[in-house]
Chains A and B, each alone.
Chain A
Amino acid sequence: MNKQVIIDKTLAGKKDNIVVSIGASSCGIAAGAEAVFKAFAEEIKKNSLRVELKKCGCLGMCSAEPLVEVKMPGKASVVYGRVNKEIASKIVTDHLLKGTILKDYVFEANKGKQLKIVLRNCGVIDPENIDEYIAREGYDALKKVLSTTPETAIEELKKSGLRGRGGAGFPTWMKWSLTRASKGELKYIICNGDEGDPGAYMDRSVLEGDPHSVLEGLIIGGYCAGAKQGYFYIRAEYPLAIARIQKAIDQALASGFLGKNILGSDFSFEVEIRLGAGAFVCGEETSLIASIEGESGRPRQRPPYPSERGLWGKPTMINNVETLANIPVVFLRGGSWFSEIGTEKSKGTKVFAVTGKVKDSGLVEVPMGTTLREIVFDICGGIAGKKKIKAVQTGGPSGGVIPEKHLDTPVDYDNLQKLGSIMGSGGMIVMDETDCMVDISKFYLGFCVDESCGKCAPCKIGGYQMLKILERISEGKGALTDLDLLKSLCQTMQKTSFCGLGQTASNPVLSTLRYFEDEYKEHIEEKKCRSHKCSGLLNYRIVEEKCKLCGLCQKNCPTEAIEGSRDKGYKIIKSKCVKCGKCYDVCRFDAVQKG
């Protein structure tokens, strides 16, 4: 199979240019990309070089930001990681002028079996320049689709087997077809960019790095569903993504890809942006609709589904950012090309934000069916430091943990569900042996309790009660009967909550109980937290043999819980200790130990 995702038409004419691209998404900017850009500009000017210097989207290896890609004529490109001003000037004088690659700073990109469909342009093009998008077959899919009927296009999409990337995995063609079939002149299409799942930022990166591909997907969706108005619903926490989408909309309007009679056809389509305001529940489609209508984002009864009665009571189609970014490629390369990638029931690729205790955290795009082990070890370099991997969490607050023994499972919608987790939007958090599973489940549940909208009792009360039980356990005050109570509350929440938030909020608890029940029991029976995370069960002690009698611990203790002197040695008085860990932090000889 020909795996070329996109054909770059610029290469031919620009072959002789030296190109330096700097990753300037939120994370790149946070790591200092702007200063690096300035340094390059100055150095290039100083040396009177002819270089195409540009800012592009996320290159994917977030832990090594700022990233710089150097492309010399006729040579393979080189990516440098953790670049600062000094390294920037060195790159100019050594690499650009003399052609010597600075091996010490090179960062190996695209390791393992990555395949970039959604991220095809991220880190390659300048996201604020529509011409660069067009040069890489941008808006060609729209032209193709506009020359056929919506029905033919939906048939093509069906062939691709694309499923929704927001988490649930509903077949995309079916959503399009249902909305198309709904009666009514006025229909809407919404791009769900309310990426509230903590630890996931795939959508932000795509919106920032390749806004036009999402917009093109939205326009095609609008044409197929019969909608004339589209909305981007984006979290207000993503200011750069919002600015880039607005710019993309303005450019597309000016180029005739949006507005009245697009590309001379009968199809007219307009797009507006609406912002979230910090409510996780708004990722749920009916809450999202309520929010666009200017109300509090509380979920509504389904059915009727939005494809029948959605925004302002009209048929509405809601697609996730990543789903829409797939759309242009599906139509460019064809449904059957797309369906050859992935597993039997999960087609195409999936973008994951791999974070946590992993060495090279960042964005990874792999064909469905790649194993967790390949993602964590082959692509992301394994665990940072010398610790052992304990589990991988997928699906955020609605997902679950997958223990080490299941790491060889090929990742797709159905396999993850069998393991008690979900695909979710693509957050993948790697945990090592220092992470406590009771603490993790408390963290996720705490998030859902905070974010519960309060509409239905199972979520509002059930979540709160479960959190109290988990707090009890983590303080060593739990009883074994609490575990049964937890399980029964989990099931009640799953079965009776009104919307997806409550129905899935108990997943982290259930899955940690499924694989790590012994840890819960240890907290209850032995009053022990093997990861030393639960401060209620933690004790500090000073190891005499290691203590160099510096007295720093005593000096820093806020509660005068450390007794002794430089000649007699030091001791922690348990009754006075508040377990703040200050002594542990300040000791330079590892003499203060947790236990």
Chain B
Amino acid sequence: MKKEIGNVEIIIEKWKGIKGSLIMALHELQHLYGYVPQKGAQQISTAFKIPLSQIFEVITFYNLFKLKEPGKHTIAVCLGTACYLKGAPDILNELKVLLKVEEGGTTKDGQFNLDVVRCLGCCGLAPVMTIDGEIYGKVKKNEIKDILAKYKKKEQK
């Protein structure tokens, strides 16, 4: 993850002065760091002339924005209706057991983040989960161990 301040400035330059662009700027900030760091939010606050408290209110209203640095890999389990009916709760439980982490939490080693999302729009492939944006469809409980192992391996290389 790139952490140069310069990039925050590019974001600010891009959106400053455009009406209602706070959410777009926050998206780009989160894209840069994986979460919305306070320092970056502070810079936006100064440049956009929006109180930090108001930015905090917006960040916490929307589900997608994160205030804490997430794990290296983000797992998102879909709990949309189709996935729910086709066993997504079992998949989620299995992940919780394997990773020893609760929904929204990060594993102790900082490797994985376990999130729940509402519908990724791939209902034909239910149950679905994504790891770092890569979609896994028709997931079976007994496949999860192997899927996770792929990411752990990548780490060791």
> Is A197 in contact with chain B by the CB < 8 A criterion?
yes
In the complex, residue of chain B having the shortest beta-carbon distance to the beta carbon of A241: B121
A277 touches B124 (CB 8 A): no
The contact of A361 among B19, B61, B123, by CB within 8 Å, is B123
In A248-306, the 8 Å CB interface with B consists of 274-280, 291-298
> Is B27 in contact with chain A by the CB < 8 A criterion?
yes
> CB-CB < 8 A to A232: which residues of B?
none
B120 touches A427 (CB 8 A): no
In the complex, residue of chain B having the shortest beta-carbon distance to the beta carbon of A586: B142
A277 touches B137 (CB 8 A): no
Interface stretch among A24-32, A147-155, A494-502? A24-32
> CB-CB < 8 A to A451: which residues of B?
118
> CB-CB < 8 A to A396: which residues of B?
81
> CB-CB < 8 A to B126: which residues of A?
355, 361
In the complex, residue of chain A having the shortest beta-carbon distance to the beta carbon of B79: A198
B27 touches A236 (CB 8 A): yes
> Is B64 in contact with chain A by the CB < 8 A criterion?
yes
The contact of A429 among B23, B85, B120, by CB within 8 Å, is B85
Interchain CA distance A71-B57 in the complex, whole Å? 54
> Is B148 in contact with chain A by the CB < 8 A criterion?
no
> Is B108 in contact with chain A by the CB < 8 A criterion?
no
Interchain CA distance A356-B141 in the complex, whole Å? 18
**Do A294 and B27 form a contact, CB below 8 Å, given A198-B81, A280-B118?**
no
In the complex, residue of chain B having the shortest beta-carbon distance to the beta carbon of A292: B20
> Is A467 in contact with chain B by the CB < 8 A criterion?
no
In the complex, residue of chain A having the shortest beta-carbon distance to the beta carbon of B122: A27
> Is A522 in contact with chain B by the CB < 8 A criterion?
no
> Is A445 in contact with chain B by the CB < 8 A criterion?
no
> CB-CB < 8 A to A199: which residues of B?
80-82, 119, 123
A165-200: contact bitstring with B at CB < 8 Å (1 yes, 0 no)?
A: 000000000000000000000000000000111111
> CB-CB < 8 A to B137: which residues of A?
27, 30-31
B23 touches A274 (CB 8 A): yes
A355 touches B23 (CB 8 A): no
> Is B125 in contact with chain A by the CB < 8 A criterion?
yes
A198 touches B124 (CB 8 A): no
Interchain CA distance A197-B90 in the complex, whole Å? 22
Interchain CA distance A435-B141 in the complex, whole Å? 19
| Interface range on chain B (Cβ under 8 Å from partner) | 35 or more
A353 touches B123 (CB 8 A): yes
Least CB distance from B28 to A in Å reads 10
In the complex, residue of chain A having the shortest beta-carbon distance to the beta carbon of B18: A272
> Is A447 in contact with chain B by the CB < 8 A criterion?
yes
Interchain CA distance A393-B126 in the complex, whole Å? 17
A291 touches B125 (CB 8 A): no
In the complex, residue of chain B having the shortest beta-carbon distance to the beta carbon of A295: B58
In the complex, residue of chain B having the shortest beta-carbon distance to the beta carbon of A360: B124
Interchain CA distance A354-B123 in the complex, whole Å? 9
**Do A27 and B22 form a contact, CB below 8 Å, given A296-B62, A297-B61?**
no
**Which residues of A are in contact with B by a Cβ distance under 8 Å?**
26-27, 29-31, 61-63, 65, 195-201, 204-205, 236-239, 274-280, 291-298, 312, 353, 355-357, 361-362, 393, 396, 427, 429, 431, 435, 443-444, 447, 451, 453, 581, 585
What 9 A-B pairs come out closest when comparing CB atoms?
A: A62-B124, A198-B80, A278-B63, A30-B135, A201-B121, A277-B62, A199-B81, A294-B22, A296-B61
| CB-defined A-B contacts under 8 Å, sample of 26 | A27-B122, A27-B137, A30-B136, A61-B124, A63-B124, A196-B119, A198-B119, A204-B121, A237-B121, A275-B23, A276-B62, A277-B23, A277-B26, A278-B64, A278-B65, A280-B118, A293-B19, A294-B21, A294-B23, A294-B58, A298-B61, A355-B81, A361-B124, A393-B81, A429-B82, A451-B118
